[in-house]
Copies of this chain bind each other. A is one copy, B any other.
Amino acid sequence: MTTEVEFQKRLTIEQVEEGNDLAPKFDRDGLIVCVTTAANSGEVLMVGYMNQEALKKTISTGEAHYWSRSRQVLWHKGATSGLVQKVLELRIDDDQDAVWLRVEIPGDASCHVGYRSCFYRSVPTGEGDHTLKFEESEKMFDPKKVYGDAPNPTIL
């Protein structure tokens, strides 16, 4: 049996910033933002969102769960693709409105487009051209083979 995860009420700034109470702040949609990095490389793989249930399941199971804003469902990452994220460490920030997962992923691929990271393009800074530059040269898998006819989650 897993001990049930409970969230504490947010009472004071000192409690939230300097204390040991887990007292996450969910936004008006009931979500908290989550940064997920690859434990081996430190690379940011994705930014996702969790509702209360997703955060509790992530904590209790040690596998990343998100709230899919495009599909409006609890999303056990990897349930379709097999690319389950094993959580090595879960951190929360000063005001407890953001979480950071350090994860292990099988096959080193995470992004639904087929790349390792969702952040496969850079924006040149400073003067000159700011069109995007690809930082990953090839896809790690073929999304059509993995996801079939499932709708693309990107919303314009």
A-side residues, CB < 8 A to B, are 1-3, 5-6, 10-13, 16-22, 25, 33, 35, 37, 41-44, 46-47, 58-62, 87, 89-95, 98-100, 111-113, 115, 118-123, 125-133, 135, 152-156
Query: Can you name the residue of chain B whose Cβ is closest to the Cβ of A63?
Result: B125
- Bound together, the chains give a CA A10 to CA B155 distance in angstroms of 10
- A60: which B residues are within 8 A, CB to CB? 125-127
A117 vs chain B, min Cβ distance (A)? 8
* SS of A interface (majority): loop
Asked if B154 contacts A123 (CB within 8 A), the reply is no
- Bound together, the chains give a CA A118 to CA B17 distance in angstroms of 10
- Bound together, the chains give a CA A46 to CA B5 distance in angstroms of 25
- Bound together, the chains give a CA A38 to CA B97 distance in angstroms of 20
Asked if B90 contacts A125 (CB within 8 A), the reply is yes
- A47: which B residues are within 8 A, CB to CB? 33, 35, 93, 98
Asked if A87 contacts B125 (CB within 8 A), the reply is yes
Most buried by B among A5, A19, A60, A98: A98
Asked if B94 contacts A112 (CB within 8 A), the reply is yes
A100 vs chain B, min Cβ distance (A)? 5
